[in-house]
Amino acid sequence: MRLAVRVIVTFLVAVTMCLTGLPTASAATYAPEPISSWSPNDTVYAMAVSQGVVYVGGSFTSVRSPSGKNVAREHLAAFDAASGDLIRTWAPTTNDVVHSLAVDGAGVFAGATSRRPTGRARSISPPSTASPGGWYGRRA
């Protein structure tokens, strides 16, 4: 008996919703103008924040400015956390997709997928210091 009541109530609720209509979601609008922030041309897989700088890594090869201008960045980029501006003086490059990032006082550490069987240690300095930081280890 309880099962029959549940089925009938569920059916009545479903019919009522269909007849009265559900609220519709608002449609997304396409804006052909440039967006008001920087955007990469491909996927961002990693982000790290340190001392007012947002570091991003991924499979992108450039970032587009709010005005629509593309700036080359090989899998790594840094942005001012307060203004959102690209830090143009920090432009390390890697041929490999970056999947992880970590930042400490010594530098920016990037974990990347290598297309080569061995990798070399590299230094990547954060923009807030003039001394080279370290990325010590092999890329897997």
Mean pLDDT, the chain, integer = 75
Let me know if residue 106 belongs to a domain: yes
User: Quick check: 11 pLDDT over 60?
Assistant: yes
Out of 1-5, 69-73, 92-96, 107-111, the most confident range is 69-73
φ/ψ (deg, to 5) at 52: 80, 15
Convert the pLDDT of each residue in 107-123 to its tens digit: 888 888 765 544 454 54
Is 10 contained in some domain?
A: no
Q: 2-16, 60-74, 99-113: which has the minimum mean pLDDT?
A: 2-16
What is the C-alpha separation between 37 and 65, in angstroms, rounded? 7
Write down the pLDDT at residue 138.
36
**How many other C-beta atoms can be found within 10 angstroms of the C-beta atom of residue 92?**
18
Give Cα separations from 118 to 47, 99, 102, 114 (angstroms).
25, 17, 21, 8
- Residue 25 CA to residue 9 CA, distance in Å, equals 26
Total-model pTM? 0.60
Q: Which pLDDT does position 48 carry in this prediction?
A: 93
Give the model confidence (pLDDT) of 34-68 as tens digits: 557 899 999 999 999 998 999 999 999 999 998 88
Distance separating alpha carbons of residues 85 and 95, to the nearest angstrom? 24
Within-domain flag for 11: no
Quick one: tokens of 85? 């501006």
Three-state SS at 122: strand
Domain annotation covers residue 17:
no
Per-residue pLDDT, 19: 64
Note whether residue 90 is domain-resident.
Answer: yes
Range of the domain at 138: 35-140
